[in-house]
Structure 1
């Protein structure tokens, strides 16, 4: 199938998404048009789309079960407690790094980046008003911290990348620990430079899911159990799949917090959050099946070779390109890993390194305006559209730092 068809299908999907059409349906329609325009019959186009969905179905199942932990953290107030404790311990003088660290930890333990920002936002607005910080500075602190934590998390993007490369999820998470820490530090520096830029905070929104928050120890037990279970494979050779580890962590956590009465509500909330991602991944799988079976990857690889780009850069660049196309870390990491994993592995790059670099690369342009993340994070802090647009270069800089350091680590260590 020709590269033209795949490109046309992707462009149509992007245009529809920008015009507020449903992202999943936009991707499916783009896949159909891409297959037909690429010279494939309608039955063969449908087959390639279904094959694409089959390829990512294991990741979808794991993502759905991850909703148990995410739901427990949000609905019990554990996420808020973790954020409040971090900010309280670091103090007002380190407010921006405290906000970044809060978002970092929340995403690292399995909360979506946009949910982490929404969770920390009320606290951030209150602190920002008191210290006379700009909205741009507090929002960038949370976004940068979230991006940094996301590349070492058991979130959908990491699961999909690991799955498509056939790599162990804990190994892929661990591979990006150094880039994540450097990204967190860079976030604090960049956010500090924005303190006097843009609109200052005049309002606050304090809202808790629960008036009686759990203890910090109780809040953190669930994520710790999950991390320990996932770490058993590289440490002791005991393979506990994320499909088991993530919900077990959530169940242990809710028992530890003595909030079992919130279990049903937490599971429903988590499932609702993950269902949207799973449906998006179905659409992503269809367009991925088309792109994977077209000559587009060969065209991109040829262009990279002509530009004298090393084979190690295929992973982060493909992650960045696909995240720009979809304005989504999850969709970008999924399409890039499904499409380019074969070429990356053939170049002698390990599965763990390839998955880690694509995952980091997918943070470079996942915040563009045709995605929901752009609008959800801006709305959480009441940032105007013009100021939200001005943040894009700073977000991209943080993503570029994550991708660059991830690539350097992969080259020298993996």
Structure 2
């Protein structure tokens, strides 16, 4: 099958994924797998090729990023259970100052959400946010949105969060993870800033019922209630060390260094090794090295990773089937005709991710599906190399921010733990995510013009 009919089959596959996850509430793993087989069969691929594409796509992607995702979730779980996430929050608060509480919450969220899922991060920091809002005498809704948007920005843009890692693996950019982290941080800065501005300009006008009633809530007592927290160095090390190692490996690769020392840096800078080093360092945060921590905490991290692994692998299978069809040749024709050039190529993954996110709710699923869809398109559009592929990951992440509403679990976490009414949450949180996504894609396009 070729031409418009092939595009229609792929469109039907995507439509099925959205319908099955949003309406039928089918798990994205099965939705993606069923869509992969459906697209393969309807596009006329030989039956053995369909099976080979599904198996190869699933296993191939897991070979790139499976261990990385598991290691990242283990680190996040240990940071959460040990109190290290709260220590990081306290340090940022001291540096920024209590006179700028919303900015402090935005930065705290951005740092914590690099290894910790944004939903978990919001729950962990919820009591701290409420106590600080009371102490600083600022609107609770303002603090809630500042924290939520800070968490959200790095959750969709900065590895080792699973979404961006999965996107990198799907589009063949796993070797450029250091560049993606660097570009992700750069794009996240204005994205966090616009969320902060939305929090102080818009959300601050929203009053949450009963926010002034809790007279017993005290910031210092909230911090003390968590017991003795880990040291600052130990708390930040499981995040910063892997990022530094990956960055060093990327620099060595870029500089073309050779020799034993360069080989060691390249080994330590590979994402798998760097994240496993982070896991080992995170063990120093455990109060005791026993069955409760080494089996229990680590086991919980692995459980958290399981759904992400399955969705990511199924997304790889879906993308592999698409690559097996003649769609790449059709895209090459469009590119040769000059229809897909310049920074505007980033609009395609942005729109696809935004549509999927808005329709089915999960940012991670939107990132996985979008990256598998666009992977066959990239060679035809001449997109290759570290920076262009990193900017494609940013465009996908930007789309996956637009918009968080009632079909998104994160929307309900923010709404329930802040006490906002749903209508107020639409004004404060949903609109903030729209502005964040638009800011991220605009800034990504600017970087494309400047760097590519």
* TM-score, with length taken from structure 2: 0.79
Residue of structure 2 in register with 1:403 after alignment = 441
Q: Give 1:189 deviation, angstroms.
A: 1.2
Q: Give 1:274 deviation, angstroms.
A: 1.1
Residue of structure 1 in register with 2:91 after alignment = 85
Deviations along 1:190-237, whole A, 9 cap, x unmatched?
Answer: 211123443426357969995332222321122222222222213444
Residue of structure 1 in register with 2:79 after alignment = 73
Residue of structure 2 in register with 1:279 after alignment = 310
Query: Does residue 364 of the first structure (1) align with residue 399 of the second (2)?
Result: yes
**296 and 315 in structure 1: CA distance in 2 versus 1, 3 angstrom threshold:** farther
Query: Does residue 353 of the first structure (1) align with residue 357 of the second (2)?
Result: no
Q: Which residue of 182, 185, 203 maps to 2:190?
A: 182
Residue of structure 2 in register with 1:252 after alignment = 281
Residue of structure 1 in register with 2:148 after alignment = 143
Contact kept, 8 Å, 1:147 with 1:399, in 2: the verdict is: no
Moved more, 93-102 or 50-59: 50-59
CA distance in structure 1 between the aligned counterparts of 2:417 and 2:338, rounded to whole angstroms: 41
Query: Does residue 124 of the first structure (1) align with residue 129 of the second (2)?
Result: yes
Q: What SS class does the counterpart of residue 8 from structure 2 fall into?
A: helix
CA distance in structure 2 between the aligned counterparts of 1:192 and 1:304, rounded to whole angstroms: 44
Residue of structure 2 in register with 1:13 after alignment = 17
Query: Does residue 226 of the first structure (1) align with residue 242 of the second (2)?
Result: yes
Contact kept, 8 Å, 1:368 with 1:374, in 2: the verdict is: yes
Contact kept, 8 Å, 2:54 with 2:320, in 1: the verdict is: yes
Moved more, 17-26 or 382-391: 382-391
Moved more, 17-26 or 295-304: 295-304
Q: Aligned ranges for residues 90-105 of structure 1 at < 5 Å?
A: 90-105=96-111
Q: Give 1:134 deviation, angstroms.
A: 4.8
CA distance in structure 2 between the aligned counterparts of 1:304 and 1:349, rounded to whole angstroms: 11
Q: Give 1:116 deviation, angstroms.
A: 2.2
Moved more, 263-272 or 341-350: 341-350
Q: What SS class does the counterpart of residue 203 from structure 2 fall into?
A: coil
Query: Does residue 62 of the first structure (1) align with residue 65 of the second (2)?
Result: no
Moved more, 86-95 or 296-305: 296-305
CA distance in structure 2 between the aligned counterparts of 1:309 and 1:209, rounded to whole angstroms: 56
CA distance in structure 1 between the aligned counterparts of 2:333 and 2:421, rounded to whole angstroms: 41
Structure 1 unaligned segments of length 5 or more: list them.
Answer: none
Deviations along 1:117-144, whole A, 9 cap, x unmatched?
Answer: 2222222233334556555433332232
Moved more, 305-314 or 98-107: 305-314
* TM-score, with length taken from structure 1: 0.86
Deviations along 1:232-260, whole A, 9 cap, x unmatched?
Answer: 21344422222121122132133266553
CA distance in structure 1 between the aligned counterparts of 2:31 and 2:275, rounded to whole angstroms: 31
